[in-house]
Amino acid sequence: SNSDSPSAGFSPRGGGGRGGFGGGGGRGGFGGGGGGGGFGGRGRGGDRGGRGGFRGGRGGFGGGGEEKLHLSSTAVELYPYTVSLLFTCSGVFICRGKEDALVTKNMVTGESVYGEKRISVDEGESKIEYRAWNPFRSKLAAAILGGVDQIHIKPGAKVMYLGAASGTTVSHVSDIVGPDGLVYAVEFSHRSGRDLLNVAKKRTNIIPIIEDARHPHKYRMLVGMVDVIFADVAQPDQTRIVALNAHNFLKNGGHFVISIKANCIDSTAAPEAVFASEVKKMSAENMKPQEQLTLEPYERDHAVVVGIYRSAPLITQHVLLLYRCAAVVLKGFHTMVHIRGGRYGLKIISQFHGIS
């Protein structure tokens, strides 16, 4: 097939219309009045506050500091976040109350990671704590709210996270995969790595790796085979970096989720051209893109590409014919077959006679 054409089932998306939870337009806040709404209200921020949160700063629901809400199950409703009729993002929820929020179930009750709001919900005699997930501080959260069909990260999954930084998004991935899953968090910066190590001290399912993701052989003894690779490395050769790690650690049929920042790859080209170029590079590495969407309004000139690695090929008629020929041989016959003009002689050895 023509390598310049999109792969079957691949659907680049962007622009408007996929909406969040009830905005009047745009790709989505939770309930803004249109445009590029944040969680609630107009513009990029939340109600009466900066870039991200509910009434304050960049960080959680409101205010820059840690704050906790105690709510009864009648005061707040928690729904699994359903992206489409075919897919439920296990482990990610929408908290519907006075203000809506994307949340994950806190694996370490009583602890915030980056000053985010914690919501304690009474469920019978027990309490379950959730953490608000801010899409202005997490590319993965932005992709979920943007309407991505699948992130392939679910309870029990083994995830490799390239470009873990201080552990903000890593902590939410840790919540999603739960105690039965693992997150291999790779970060090159020693400064960010110190924060990542502190997060990992309280979360037993995070394995921090302070190494350059360009050299996966340096940590090959620490990492097992994984189900998903998420990458947010913002480097000109990021597709090559992801491919190197996929060849070493990603299962056949596993998935990848790559965040692409156009300016970090080629600041002179149009973002759409950069995204198309990266998708073509992925295809050359046995990484089949299945979905693409932009991260507006949360990030400018960013896209996320989701795909599958080394998907199992369909069994062709020629392969089936070879299987039939092999069966004939094992029954003790000598046969000659012609495939695409090639002649193969299959001769049985006497001791195999009669084997079915």
Cα–Cα dist 38/51, whole Å: 8
Asked if the structure places residue 263 within a domain, the reply is: yes
Identify whether residues 124 and 176 lie together within a single domain: no
Question: Same domain for 147 and 252?
Answer: yes
In a domain, 178, yes or no: yes
Residues 283 and 187 in one domain: yes
Same domain (yes/no): 196, 301: yes
Q: What is the pLDDT along the chain (356 residues), one digit of tens a residue?
A: 444 444 445 555 554 444 444 444 444 444 444 444 444 433 443 343 344 444 333 444 444 444 555 544 434 556 565 433 234 567 898 887 777 789 999 999 999 999 999 988 877 788 888 999 999 999 999 999 888 888 999 999 999 999 999 999 999 999 999 999 999 999 999 999 999 999 999 999 999 999 999 999 999 999 999 999 999 998 989 999 999 999 999 999 999 999 998 888 888 888 889 999 999 999 999 999 999 999 989 988 899 999 999 876 644 445 556 666 666 555 554 444 444 444 444 443 334 344 43
- CATH classification of the domain holding 145: 3.40.50.150
Q: Does the model's pTM come out above 0.95?
A: no
Residue with tokens 């006075």: 98
Q: 191 and 222: one domain?
A: yes
Q: What is the chain's Cα-based Rg?
A: 24
Please give the tally of structural domains in the chain: 3
| Same domain as 110, residue 188 | no
CB of 92 closer than 8 Å to CB of 142: no
Contact 216, 209 (CB under 8 A): no
Shared-domain flag, residues 94 and 230: no
Give yes or no: residues 151 and 289 share one domain: yes
25 in any annotated domain: no
Which of 115, 132, 149 is the last residue before a domain boundary? 132
Pairing of β 101-105 and β 11-13:
unpaired
Domain that holds residue 221: 139-309
Instruction: Note every long-range contact of 345-353, with CB atoms under 8 Å and residues 24 or more positions apart, other chains counting.
Output: none
